[in-house]
């Protein structure tokens, strides 16, 4: 990381209710919020080139410290000038610490007070991720924003299990703060607590007592009912400092993002737009469309008539279905580009609505349009 890089900061420019427009200042440039971050786990957003992401307006993407530590190694990435330079992206990078992998790769790890003991998903080699090594790895990667190591509580979890998990997360958070040595790289803490309001409050109190540059709500969208996810997200964000960026991890659908922005969250990430695209699903202004369905076989219309992305202005639904059914790589490329364009535009429209103090009406209209389109399609299908 460049020692002359600007210190991380966050400025709020406008509010509308709890929704707000802000600006993150990072060593690799400024990021307007609300912001959605495409997921580039292994320093690559699947099916997309970095300059294409930049052209769509993305100024920050997410990568994963655990996966990059396993391959190609944090030291190598650091020697290559840091993760942004290594992957050829002109913007900022946020790295998840690897805490989520403690849950998603539970079959090859064990968790103790010291940290997470992995067996590499590639070759079985042992890797122990401690709060200290998680910070060391992220600093070596040159991340603009680093995440404290946490235990992402699985769902369902009994109250006592969730309490033990958030207490461990709090102790790890303290160690992460002490381990940090790079002042130009921001460090965010993560509140846990599963779906229990009392635990969410306890975790938020513990995490916000520590001097983090930003705060996140973690452990949501991991299988719990949507109503519980939104309830816990709203409860948590109200307990996070208003002068710091507030990050809702792993969420979600366009409707969820619109609801979370209204709660006061500033940052989001999710694999949905890229993963769904590779599986033939597109997010549109009229809801989710499955291009695999036979109804699109002779459909000459664009994927989304309201969209001006390259996919929608070039290809018909019929051609996109042909590409997908034929197993052509272009199907994943086109649908991924569309989905990320859609998410990026949604964030810009949200910012404009907040600036004009019309966010509530904008969110309601957009959500209703999406849900009406999906209901109409389901009615035809059923």
Q: CA nearest 345: which of 311, 315, 377, 375? A: 311
Active site residue 96: yes
Integer Cα distance of 382 and 132 in angstroms: 53
Catalytic residue chosen out of the listed positions 96, 144, 150, 213? 96
- C-alpha to C-alpha distances, 279 to 18, 39, 158, 166, 310, nearest whole angstrom: 35, 16, 34, 34, 19
Cβ contact 211:183 at 8 Å: no
Residue 16 a catalytic site member: no
**Cα–chain-centroid distance for residue 287?**
20
Q: Which of 144, 256, 269, 304 is catalytic?
A: 269
What lies within 8 Å, CB to CB, of 382 at 6+ separation is none
Judged by DSSP in three states, 47 sits in coil
CA pair distance 315, 333, nearest whole angstrom: 12
- Which is nearest to 41 in space by CA: 61, 59, 22, 25? 61
Element spanning 186, H or E: strand 186-191
Q: Which two tokens stand for residue 82?
A: 């840091």
Q: Cβ neighbours of residue 277 under 8 Å, at least 6 residues apart?
A: 47, 332, 335, 336, 338, 339
Dihedral pair phi/psi, residue 26, rounded to 5°: -125, 170
Q: Which one-letter DSSP state was computed for residue 8?
A: P
Phi first, then psi: what are they for 9, rounded to 5°?
A: -150, 165
Check: CB of residue 36 under 8 Å from CB of residue 268.
Answer: yes
**The residue count for the chain:** 382
Which residues are registered as beta bridge partners of 94? 62, 145
Contact (CB, 8 A) for 33 and 320? no
Active-site residue numbers? 96, 269
């Amino acid at each position: 990381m460049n020692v002359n890089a600007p210190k991380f900061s966050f400025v709020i420019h406008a509010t509308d209710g709890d929704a707000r427009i802000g600006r993150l200042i990072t060593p690799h440039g400024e990021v307007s919020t609300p912001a959605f971050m495409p997921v580039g786990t292994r320093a690559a957003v699947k099916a997309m080139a970095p300059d294409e992401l930049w052209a769509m307006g993305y100024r920050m993407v997410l990568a994963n410290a655990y996966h990059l530590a396993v391959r190609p190694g944090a030291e190598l990435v650091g020697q290559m000038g840091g993760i942004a330079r290594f992957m050829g992206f002109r913007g900022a990078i946020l790295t998840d610490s690897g805490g989520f992998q403690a849950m998603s790769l539970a079959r090859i790890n064990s968790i103790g007070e010291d940290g997470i003991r992995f067996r590499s998903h590639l070759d079985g080699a042992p890797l122990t991720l401690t709060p200290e090594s998680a910070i060391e790895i992220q600093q070596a990667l040159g991340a603009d924003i680093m995440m404290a190591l946490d235990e992402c509580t699985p769902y369902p979890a009994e109250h006592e299990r969730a309490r033990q998990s958030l207490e461990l997360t709090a102790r790890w958070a303290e160690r992460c703060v002490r381990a940090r040595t790079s002042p130009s790289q921001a460090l965010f803490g993560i509140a846990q607590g599963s779906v229990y309001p009392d635990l969410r409050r306890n975790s938020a109190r513990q995490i916000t007592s520590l001097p983090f540059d930003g705060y996140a709500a973690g452990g949501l969208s991991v299988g719990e009912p949507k109503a519980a996810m939104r309830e816990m997200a709203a409860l948590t964000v109200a307990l996070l400092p208003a002068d710091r960026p507030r990050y809702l991890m792993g969420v979600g659908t366009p409707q969820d993002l619109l609801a979370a922005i209204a709660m006061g969250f500033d940052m989001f990430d999710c694999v949905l737009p890229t993963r769904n695209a590779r599986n033939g699903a597109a997010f549109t202004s009229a809801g989710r469309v499955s291009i695999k369905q036979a109804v699109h076989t002779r459909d000459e219309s664009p994927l989304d008539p309201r969209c001006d992305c390259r996919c929608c202005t070039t290809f018909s639904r019929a051609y996109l279905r042909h590409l997908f059914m034929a197993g052509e790589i272009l199907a994943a490329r086109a649908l991924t580009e569309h989905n990320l364009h859609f998410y990026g535009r949604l964030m810009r429209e949200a910012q404009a609505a907040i600036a004009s103090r019309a966010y509530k009406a904008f969110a309601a209209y957009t959500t209703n349009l999406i849900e009406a389109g999906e209901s109409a399609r389901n009615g035809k299908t059923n």
